[in-house]
Structure 1
Amino acid sequence: MPNTTTPTSALRALGVEADTYGPTVNTGGSPRHVEVLGRALAEELRASNAETLVIWSTPDEAVLAHAVALQLGATVRRASEVEGILTLDEPIAEGQRAALVATRWEGRWLAKLREFVVGSGGELVAAAAVVGSEALDDVTGLPTAALVQAHEAEELRR
C-alpha cells in the first residue's frame, strides 16, 4: 500500500519545538514521518539539480538533510560556527551545485550560510525548508521552497 501521509500530517506527528537556532522539527520522533518530509523537499529541489545539500550542523537538520539527499542522490555538507569561524565538515568543490536545507530558516543563519557557500566556490541553486519563514520569503535571486508556511506551523508548536 502506498504511503499517503502528507507533509502537513507528518509535521503534525513530529511536532515543531524551540531550539538554539529557532523553531525546529523534532526529527527524532519518527523516521517514517521524516522520510515523508524528505521526499517532499526532494521533489521541491529536484529541478535545481543540487549535487550537495548544505545545512547547519544540528541533529534535526542532519536527519532531515540525509532523508532529502537520499532521494536526490546528493551529498550533505554540515556547517559549524565556532568563535566566529565558519567551516564545513568537507569542502564544496568549485562550481558544485548546492542547495541550502533546514527544518526552518532564521534570517541571520540563512544569510551567513548563503554567503559562505558562494564564497567557497559553490554554485547556490536553491534554499528550502520544511517550515516557511520570513527569512526564506525575503530571499531574492534564488529559488526557494517551504512545505508548510509559518502561520500553518504555529498550531503544530509544542
Structure 2
Amino acid sequence: MTTSPDLASLVASVTVREADGSSWYDLSSHPVSVDAIGGAIADRVRDAGITAVISWWTPDEAVLAHVVASALGVPRSSAELELGLITLSPELNANNGRRVLLVATDFDFNKPQEPLRVLLEGRGQALVATASFSEPEGIRFTGLD
C-alpha cells in the first residue's frame, strides 16, 4: 500500500498551482500518478466490501473513479445534476450498488457528498466511504474505521 508521504507527492504531481495561489487538479497530466493514486485508494478500501464506485460527472472525477473501480474490479457510475435532479449513469442495481465508494478530487458546492448519500439510501444502497484529495496527507478517507 502507498504510504501517506507517497500519496502526498502523487497528489502534488497532479496539482496545478496558479500564480494567484489557487490550485486545481489535472489528472491528464501524469497518468502514472493517477494509476498509483487509484491503486492506493483501492488498497485502503478493499476490506470495506465496496461493490461500486461513483463520482460526479466531470472529466477528472470520471478518470479517478474509473481507475479506482478498475483496481477494485467493480463497476463505476457517474452522478450528474440537471434541472434539480440527480441521475446516475450507468444505473447501479441492488447487486452491484449495495456498498458504494464516492471518489473526488475535492468535494465542494458543485460536487457535494450528502445529496448522493440521500439518493443511494433512498434506493436501499449505502455510501460506505468517501475518498478525496487533501493536503497534506494526500487522500482523505471518511466512513472507514
- Give the TM-score category using the shorter length: 0.7 to 0.9
Equivalent pair of 1:37/1:130 in contact (CA under 8 Å): no
Give, in angstroms, the shift of residue 126 of structure 1.
Answer: 1.2
Check if 1:126 corresponds to 2:125: no
Alignment of 1:53-92 (within 5 A): 53-92=53-92
Question: Secondary structure of the equivalent of 2:76?
Answer: strand
Question: Secondary structure of the equivalent of 1:104?
Answer: coil
**Deviation larger for 52-61 or 90-99:** 90-99
Following the alignment from structure 1 to structure 2, what is the Cα–Cα distance between the partners of residues 61 and 24?
12
Question: Secondary structure of the equivalent of 1:50?
Answer: coil
Following the alignment from structure 2 to structure 1, what is the Cα–Cα distance between the partners of residues 24 and 131?
14
State the percentage of identical aligned residues: 31
Residue 121 and residue 24 in structure 1: after superposition, are their counterparts in 2 closer, same or farther (change >3 A)? Answer: farther
Following the alignment from structure 1 to structure 2, what is the Cα–Cα distance between the partners of residues 98 and 65?
11
- Tell me what 1:7 maps to: 7
Question: Secondary structure of the equivalent of 2:55?
Answer: strand
Whichever residue aligns with residue 78 of structure 2, its letter is: R
Equivalent pair of 1:92/1:122 in contact (CA under 8 Å): no
**Normalising by structure 2, what TM-score?**
0.77
Where in structure 1 are there 5+ consecutive unaligned residues? 145-158
Q: Deviations over 1:61-107 (max 9, x none)?
A: 11111111111111111000111011011222226221111111236
- The structure richer in helix per residue is 1
Residue 98 and residue 17 in structure 1: after superposition, are their counterparts in 2 closer, same or farther (change >3 A)? Answer: farther
Equivalent pair of 1:52/1:97 in contact (CA under 8 Å): yes
Q: Deviations over 1:1-38 (max 9, x none)?
A: xx9992211111111569xxxx7521011110101110
**Cα RMSD, aligned residues only:** 2.7
Following the alignment from structure 1 to structure 2, what is the Cα–Cα distance between the partners of residues 125 and 51?
10
Where in structure 2 are there 5+ consecutive unaligned residues? none
Following the alignment from structure 2 to structure 1, what is the Cα–Cα distance between the partners of residues 85 and 118?
13
- Tell me what 2:144 maps to: 143
**Normalising by structure 1, what TM-score?**
0.72
Equivalent pair of 2:117/2:126 in contact (CA under 8 Å): no
Residue 24 and residue 64 in structure 1: after superposition, are their counterparts in 2 closer, same or farther (change >3 A)? Answer: farther
Partner residue of 2:105 out of 103, 106, 110: 103
Check if 1:112 corresponds to 2:115: yes
Give, in angstroms, the shift of residue 119 of structure 1.
Answer: 1.4
Equivalent pair of 1:41/1:129 in contact (CA under 8 Å): no
